[in-house]
Structure 1
Amino acid sequence: MSKKLEVKTIVLKKTIKEQDASVIIEDKKTSLFKKLLKKPKREDVHVHSLNLYYECMLTVSGKYIADYYRKATHTISVDSNVQEIVFGDGVFPIRSKSTLQKAFTVARSKNKVDLQLEEHVFIEEENELVFDHHGTETKFPYKINSKTIENYPQRLLEENLSNVKKPETTHDAAVEKLKAFLKKPMDPDVRKLTEEFVLKEIAEVYVPVFEARLIGPNKKIGLLRIDAVRNKIL
Structure 2
Amino acid sequence: MVKSNYDVKTTVLRKSIEQDEAEQIVEDKKTSPFKSLLSRPKKEEVHLHSLKLYYECILLVSGKYIADYFRKAVHTISVPSNVNEVVLGDGVFPIKSKSTLEKAFVGKRGKNKIDIKLEEHVFVEEEDELAFDHHGREINFPFKVNSKSVENYPKGILEQNEPNVKRPELTYDAAIDKLQTMLKKPLETDVRDLSEEFVLREITELYVPIFEARLIGPKKKVGLIRVDAVRKKVL
TM-score normalised over the length of structure 1? 0.95
Q: Distance in 2 between matches of 1:224 and 1:101?
A: 72
Alignment of 1:186-225 (within 5 A): 186-225=187-226
Q: Match of 1:82, SS?
A: coil
Question: Can you list the C-alpha shifts for 1:5-50, whole angstroms capped at 9, x where unaligned?
Answer: 4100001010000000111111110122112253211111111111
- Which residue in the other structure is 2:119 paired with? 118
- Which residue in the other structure is 1:63 paired with? 64
Q: Match of 2:156, SS?
A: helix
Give yes or no for contact 1:5–1:201 (8 Å, CA) kept in 2.
Answer: no
Alignment of 1:1-234 (within 5 A): 5-103=6-104, 107-234=108-235
Q: Distance in 1 between matches of 2:206 and 2:107?
A: 66
TM-score normalised over the length of structure 2? 0.95
* CA drift at 1:219: 1.3
Unaligned runs of 5+ in 2: none
* CA drift at 1:227: 0.2
* CA drift at 1:55: 0.4
* CA drift at 1:97: 2.2
Q: Distance in 1 between matches of 2:93 and 2:137?
A: 53
Letter in 2 for 1:193: L
* CA drift at 1:147: 1.3
* CA drift at 1:184: 0.4
RMSD of the TM alignment (CA)? Answer: 1.5
Over 3 Å counting, the alpha-carbon distance change for 1:172 and 1:84 in structure 2 is: same
Report how many residues are paired: 232
Over 3 Å counting, the alpha-carbon distance change for 1:87 and 1:39 in structure 2 is: same
Q: Match of 1:202, SS?
A: strand
Question: Can you list the C-alpha shifts for 1:116-163, whole angstroms capped at 9, x where unaligned?
Answer: 010011111111011111111111111212211111111111121110
Question: Can you list the C-alpha shifts for 1:57-103, whole angstroms capped at 9, x where unaligned?
Answer: 00000001101110010000011111111000000010112323433
Over 3 Å counting, the alpha-carbon distance change for 1:93 and 1:145 in structure 2 is: same
Question: Can you list the C-alpha shifts for 1:185-215, whole angstroms capped at 9, x where unaligned?
Answer: 1101111111110000000000000000111
Over 3 Å counting, the alpha-carbon distance change for 1:213 and 1:106 in structure 2 is: farther
